[in-house]
């Protein structure tokens, strides 16, 4: 009985001490100013440049201009259209200097129209395997040809890839920039993405080549506008911004 009283007494002393300690710290204000920034660097918005379809201007015009301005980009490549090691080496060289190489399927088919699951899987995953083998790094991101998708397509895409421009809906605000796009459209979209705190993803093809190519002047205009808004914008390739968004919004996390 005496030992029990001693134990209870010691427990009571500890409890009183902890209560006193708690009261002492109640006099200090609690700092509620910490939060997770929606965009890296606490920027107001973000922009990513992406280019599809293996256009030769990726090497001759697009990548050199982006490097001149200090920006990265994502090139979504059609692996089945790359026929020799010399061409693969060009894409590997871009990867090695900080550009992202993403998967744009094996043959650029409308994925939602492929009825056979085995063929659909091959179209997505054979391209993944080729890129991983030839580039030396597995593709993190996928771009659906023709923006063609459905639940079955995405189920296969996200077996290996973690991010896509169109799935899930609302992941980013992608803008397909084509021959008909104008500098006024650029000015409007750059203003709106900052105003609305959006992640704008530019989805283009080539400069003077490829599907509905843009001009070098239009690309320069975009880069100049981006440079002028660096104080408000996070500028990074699609995979980099995807990883950040998946970290702060777990609902988008495929990892």
Confidence (pLDDT) at 32: 56
The verdict on whether omega for the bond into residue 76 sits within 30 degrees of 0, i.e. cis, is no
CB count in 10 Å sphere of residue 83: 8
Confidence (pLDDT) at 27: 39
List C-alpha distances in Å: 169 to 37, 75, 185, 202, 203.
21, 21, 23, 16, 16
Rg (CA), the chain: 25
Burial of 28 (0-12, 13-18, 19+ CB in 10 A): exposed
Q: Could you tell me what percentage of the chain is helix, strand and coil, using 3-state DSSP and rounding each to the nearest 5? A: 50, 15, 35
- Token pair for 16: 């009183």
Confidence (pLDDT) at 30: 40
> How far apart are alpha carbons 142 and 161 in whole angstroms?
6
Q: What would be the CATH architecture of the domain defined by 40-252? A: Alpha-Beta Barrel (3.20)
> How far apart are alpha carbons 234 and 243 in whole angstroms?
13
Give the DSSP letter of residue 84: S
Angle at 205 between CA 204 and CA 207, to 5 degrees: 100
Contacts of 203 (CB under 8 A, 6+ apart): 50, 52, 143, 165, 174, 175, 176, 177
Give the start-to-end residue ranges of the domains of the chain: 40-252
- pTM for the complete prediction? 0.86
> How far apart are alpha carbons 127 and 33 in whole angstroms?
46
Confidence (pLDDT) at 36: 82
Confidence (pLDDT) at 249: 76
- Token pair for 249: 């919004």
Q: What is the mean pLDDT of each run of 10 residues along the chain (255 residues)?
A: 46 41 39 75 97 98 98 98 97 98 98 97 98 98 98 97 95 97 98 97 98 98 98 98 89 61
Confidence (pLDDT) at 35: 65
Confidence (pLDDT) at 64: 98
Helix (H) or strand (E) holding 49: strand 45-52
* Residue owning tokens 């009261």: 23
Cα–Cα nearest to 91, from 123, 120, 62: 62
> How far apart are alpha carbons 71 and 141 in whole angstroms?
18
């Amino acid at each position: 009985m005496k030992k029990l009283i001693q134990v209870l007494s010691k427990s009571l002393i500890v409890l009183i001490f902890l209560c006193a300690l708690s009261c002492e710290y109640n006099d200090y204000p609690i700092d509620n100013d910490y939060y997770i920034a929606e965009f890296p660097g606490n920027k107001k918005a973000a922009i990513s440049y992406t280019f599809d379809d293996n256009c030769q201007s990726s090497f001759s015009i697009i990548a050199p201009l982006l490097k001149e301005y200090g920006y990265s980009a994502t090139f979504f490549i059609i692996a089945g259209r790359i026929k020799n090691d010399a061409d693969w080496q060009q894409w590997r060289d871009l990867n090695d200097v900080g550009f992202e190489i993403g998967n744009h399927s094996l043959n650029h088919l409308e994925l939602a129209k492929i009825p056979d699951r085995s063929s659909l899987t091959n179209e997505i995953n054979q391209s993944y395997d080729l890129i991983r083998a030839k580039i030396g790094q597995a593709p993190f991101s996928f771009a659906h040809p023709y923006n063609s998708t459905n639940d079955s397509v995405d189920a296969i895409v996200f077996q290996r890839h973690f991010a896509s421009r169109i799935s899930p809906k609302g992941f980013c605000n992608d803008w397909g920039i084509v021959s008909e796009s104008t500098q006024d459209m650029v000015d409007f979209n750059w203003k709106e993405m900052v105003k609305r705190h959006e992640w704008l993803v530019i989805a283009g093809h080539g400069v003077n080549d490829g599907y509905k190519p843009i001009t070098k002047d239009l690309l320069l205009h975009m880069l100049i506008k981006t440079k002028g808004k660096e104080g408000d914008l996070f500028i990074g390739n699609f995979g980099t911004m995807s990883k950040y968004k998946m970290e702060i919004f777990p609902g988008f996390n495929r990892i």
